[in-house]
Amino acid sequence: MSQVSKACCSIPPVKTDYQPKGSMEKVAGFDSYVVGPADSKNVLVCVYDIFGFWDTTKQCADLLSESMKIKVVMPDLLCGKPWPLTSFPPSNEEESKKFQEWFSTVASVPDAKKDVEAVAQELKKNGAEKLGLYGLCWGGKITSLAGYEGTLFSGVAIVHPAMVNGEDSKGLTVPVAFFPSKDEPRDESDKYWENFQKSHPELVEKSTYHYYDNMFHGFGAARANLKDEANRVAAEDLYNRLANFFCGVF
């Protein structure tokens, strides 16, 4: 497994009470959280989790932007209809049915992948030279699939992904950073990395894998509790790994 570099980028300390620094703009028709230099030639795109915009997720974007001196764009792919954090996991059969319906419509992975590609096309059209993509939970699955043949992204990073499938990495055509948590199946997570190494040996040097075996699904996004010291330390480590991966890609 690759180790995080200390030479390239180092993010500022993660804060427990945070006020986001970015603003809302339209990107490819989507309301988007945007932070960083408007004329940045390197741009990161973030696919948030099913809970939508969240201060923890925005802090990650802000820290990546600050440390790397680039623009980060987080489009509202759920179009104002995130799944309520208070309703996860679904507590009864009726809620489970509603969640599955929402997941197949509002949060459709194939549709979201197309939307991410539209955002990438718009950013390229507006002058971006290199694009990176990182996704959290639900967004991690989308991000993995968005790194296939024909991708406009120079690298993809997948954080505590939903629906881990060890076969997904075979289709990647760009470097990958893969950061599952203890709630993702270890066998499938290891298989994802092993298949990537076998299928794309030429991309391994710029890629990285770290399994957070002491952290829960969502520790770096909406479900994070940064007032918990272990969670805060892990989130800071995660964000540093993301920054260093994309420094290497760009």
Residue 124: inside a domain: yes
Residue 140 has pLDDT above 50, yes or no: yes
pTM: 0.94
Residue 2 has pLDDT above 80, yes or no: no
pLDDT of res. 19:
94
Structure tokens at 12: 């500022």
Asked if the bond preceding 75 is cis, omega within 30° of 0, the reply is no
> How does strand 30-35 pair with strand 23-27?
antiparallel
C-alpha to C-alpha distance for 174 and 206, rounded to whole angstroms: 9
Residue 1: inside a domain: no
Residue 236 has pLDDT above 70, yes or no: yes
Residue 3 has pLDDT above 50, yes or no: no
Residue 186: inside a domain: yes
pLDDT of res. 6:
45
| pLDDT tens track for 5-35 | 444 567 888 998 899 999 999 999 999 999 9
Average per-residue pLDDT for the chain: 94
Residue 220's CATH number: 3.40.50.1820
Residue 179: inside a domain: yes
| pLDDT tens track for 101-137 | 999 999 999 999 999 999 999 999 999 999 999 999 9
Residue 221: inside a domain: yes
Domain count for the chain: 1
pLDDT of res. 1:
43
pLDDT of res. 5:
42
Residue 245: inside a domain: yes
What average pLDDT score do residues 153-182 get?
A: 96
Domain that holds residue 118: 6-249
pLDDT of res. 17:
87
Percent of the chain with pLDDT over 90: 90
**Residues 6 or more apart whose Cβ sits within 8 Å of residue 143:** 47, 116, 133, 134, 135, 156, 157, 158, 161
Residue 73: inside a domain: yes
| pLDDT tens track for 44-103 | 999 999 999 999 999 999 999 999 999 999 999 999 999 998 898 888 999 999 999 999
C-alpha to C-alpha distance for 69 and 64, rounded to whole angstroms: 8
Helices and strands of the chain, counted as H and E runs: 6, 8
Short-list 179, 148, 150, CA closest to 246: 179
How wide is the angle at C-alpha 249 spanned by C-alphas 176 and 202, nearest 5°?
A: 60
Question: Any idea which residue has 């991309």 for tokens?
Answer: 203
pLDDT of res. 62:
96
pLDDT of res. 12:
83
Residue 161: inside a domain: yes
